[in-house]
Amino acid sequence: MKFKFNQLLAFLSLLPMSAMASEPLSIERIFSSPSLEGEAPMKLKVSPDGERISFLKGKTSDYERYDLWEYHIESGQTRLLVDADSLHSGPEDLSEEEKARRERLRLHGSGIVDYFWSEDGSALLFPLAGDAYYYNLSEQKVRPLLQTPEFETDIRFSPKGNYISYIREQNLYVMDIATGQEKRLTNDGGGNIKYGMAEFVAQEEMGRMTGYWWAADEANIALTRVDESPVEEVTRSEIYADKVDVITQRYPAAGKANVLIELGVINLDSGETKWLDMGDDKDIYLARVNWLPGSRNLTYQWQSRNQKRLELRKVEVATGIEKVLLAETSHTWINLHDDLRFFRARPQFIWASERAGFKHLYLYDTNGELLKQLTSGDWVVDEINAIDEAKNLVYFTGRKDSPIERHLYRLSLADGEIKRISQLKGTHAVSFDKKASVYVDRFSSVNTPPQVSLHKADGTRLAYLEENAVNEQHPLGPYRAQWVQPEFGTIAAEDGTPLHYRLYTPKQVSGKHPAIVYLYGGPGAQLVTNSWGGPRGLVIQHWVNKGYVVFTLDNRGSDYRGKAFEDAIYRKLGELEVSDQVQGVRFLRTLPYVDGQRIGVYGHSYGGYMALMSMFKAGDYFKAGVSGAPVTDWALYDTHYTERYLDHPKDNAEGYTASAVFPYAKDLKGELLIYHGMADDNVLFSHSTRLYKLLQDNMIPFQMMDYPGKKHGLRGKETSIHLYQTITRFFDRNL
């Protein structure tokens, strides 16, 4: 039977898209537009007046270029507020400071990448290409507030929305929105002196991305003065395709000097700054700063250099009188958090602590007296999301039901009852309005791309902003038939500790299959979750479609399992983590469809370090390994991260030597591929080049793929396609 061409087209148009998918999911398609995960919005915020939800959404033609949108709650209408291309098109010439800041934020893409609401919900502020724009909702139009040759960073509204504030050339400025009058608040910033800016380790390791904080009454701003002169200068090359930039960077390596930091309060009217007395010990960390309601008192979190002591200190701004409200201590380290919430109507606050072994919430009065513990049990609180003071309720996300899922819970301050609000099994990220009456939920599961919905505080769904159902019209529709649902389970570490795993197996299991162990393994992270994996999760599906078994195990030291689970790696990195991953491979070898002699390992950053340590220390278990942007010598990494887990080098020299990869490199048996960004300012490129040299000197063959001009995250569609094609071909050849 023969079809004419137009008859064939008509016939094909009647088929479901899944039936028309003749090609398997490819790496090229994973990183091309439109995005395979659909158009689920990002950076969701409920407006202060509770009338609308704002969000960013990538263009259909370019999923990494973002526009500003809104969903109007009463009308149920979604509309585009600002098209980024209408204000600035083409490449954005980012300053070096902004490039570094976005790298620390793990922020990628272009267009409108961040935005802020005014206090009354009448206007939005957003940076774009180094300038600042103001969108008035009633006028429905944009006007520029800043259009300067300089690149301003950390642009924000003041609390009442009368000013914007920003950093220009390492000084703090404010501008009156009504008049456009600009005021420079600091004058001698430049060189080693930075005002209102977070230093490198604050951004990269402490989660503090700013160095200034407005008081609610807009009379004062708390700000930092950072002196980088004590920090050792590191000269490194940033290698691009057509040039080599020699960069001098102040990089505080483990055991070396940190910045000198001061905290002060500047008055907007007088310009006078009062510097606080933070104590005689200058070798400390400033972790957090928060104003109390009323704007008369300020708190800051003081952390010792060894990170075994954290103090919450309150300062009366007018007098400078300080008081330690509470202190946390640990024989290993204290994890920082953002869960300090002051009540507006009563002199109390909520604080999170791991003192009982798991992160839980505690109620204090503002004099520092502990009133009661609010949550307890062998599970962790993720974060406080909202407090309804009128109803005496606290909303938080946590892992009460499963360490691999995040749910929303409601805590009654009156009787201590905890009720789960979110119902769908998976991972929920929520944002409430100011009154804690409604919230927007960005939900996903391992095979459900992000869905965004609006809910009442009791969990009742009011509407979908983006249901994102994977149907025949969805970008993922053509690949549904290939989709694999992974298995979740636990195995025991050598000491009996349960370890969670995720296991993907091909749809058609016949004979023995090669396996890839995808890992991270480091502290502060978790890979085995019932959540959407993004492009990397799609790459895993691609590998499974090719016939690989893909296995991930969260070893001891990883996050959301309690402090004892994390503390196991203290002062000895790369030991228990590798032991647990070997247990995972032993489990794989028991599966009848896995070829135990064809197992590979892949990871990036700490995962890259783990891939190296697995290949070097457990070569009988891994035939091939891919190591991305690895730490190879912890003495080369930064102070706050490294000393947290390994202690100071002078107090644990043996631990630093044993935790480096070099003593074990000679034992490499399998095939090894290392890749690195040649402009990486986090895990410096020298980590890899030192290992290259050692392997070459010992005549040990290996492969490498380095990326000119790329930072630690290796952002960009073309780079991602090339990288994952390279990794896949490497495993195809060797497994």
- How far apart CA 608 and CA 519 sit, in angstroms, is 9
End-to-end Cα, the chain, rounded Å: 44
User: How deeply is 114 buried, as exposed, middle or buried, from its count of CB atoms within 10 A (0-12, 13-18, 19+)?
Assistant: middle
Closest of 396, 457, 448 to residue 427, by C-alpha: 448
| 3-state secondary structure (DSSP) of residue 111 | strand
Both tokens of 248, joined, read: 């001098």
Closest of 206, 197, 256, 248 to residue 227, by C-alpha: 197
- How far apart CA 196 and CA 84 sit, in angstroms, is 28
Contact assessment for residue 678 and residue 687, using Cβ atoms and an 8 Å cutoff: no
- 131 as an active site residue: the answer is no
CA 602, chain centre distance (Å): 20
- How far apart CA 364 and CA 292 sit, in angstroms, is 14
User: How deeply is 296 buried, as exposed, middle or buried, from its count of CB atoms within 10 A (0-12, 13-18, 19+)?
Assistant: middle
The DSSP letter of residue 633 is -
Amino acid at 571: R
CA-angle at 681, arms to 677 and 682, nearest 5°: 95
Could you say which of 35, 558, 605, 614 is catalytic? 605
Q: Largest alpha-carbon pair distance within the chain?
A: 94
The DSSP letter of residue 168 is E
- 605 as an active site residue: the answer is yes
Q: Beta-strand (E) ranges in 378-519? A: 381-388, 393-398, 407-412, 418-420, 427-432, 438-445, 448-456, 461-466, 487-492, 498-504, 513-518
| 3-state secondary structure (DSSP) of residue 483 | coil
Contact assessment for residue 222 and residue 267, using Cβ atoms and an 8 Å cutoff: no
Contacts of residue 449, Cβ cutoff 8 Å, sequence gap at least 6: 36, 37, 38, 40, 468, 470, 476, 532
Give me the residue label for tokens 């999170």: 352
Contacts of residue 495, Cβ cutoff 8 Å, sequence gap at least 6: none
Contact assessment for residue 340 and residue 290, using Cβ atoms and an 8 Å cutoff: yes
Closest of 383, 426, 386, 424 to residue 406, by C-alpha: 426
- How far apart CA 711 and CA 103 sit, in angstroms, is 8
- How far apart CA 57 and CA 41 sit, in angstroms, is 5
Contacts of residue 320, Cβ cutoff 8 Å, sequence gap at least 6: 274, 276, 277
- How far apart CA 5 and CA 230 sit, in angstroms, is 74
Could you say which of 154, 559, 680, 681 is catalytic? 680
The DSSP letter of residue 727 is H
The DSSP letter of residue 151 is -
Both tokens of 318, joined, read: 């007018």
H helices of 89-168, in order, are 96-105
The DSSP letter of residue 486 is P
Could you say which of 500, 513, 604, 712 is catalytic? 712
Q: DSSP assignment of 385-408, as one string?
A: EEEETTTTEEEEEE-SS-TT-BEE
Contacts of residue 717, Cβ cutoff 8 Å, sequence gap at least 6: 31, 32, 64
Closest of 345, 348, 337, 347 to residue 397, by C-alpha: 337
The DSSP letter of residue 434 is T
Give me the residue label for tokens 């790369």: 574
- 680 as an active site residue: the answer is yes
- CA distances to 36, 38, 137, 535, 718 from 32, rounded to whole Å, are 8, 12, 34, 10, 9
Residues taking part in catalysis: 605, 680, 712
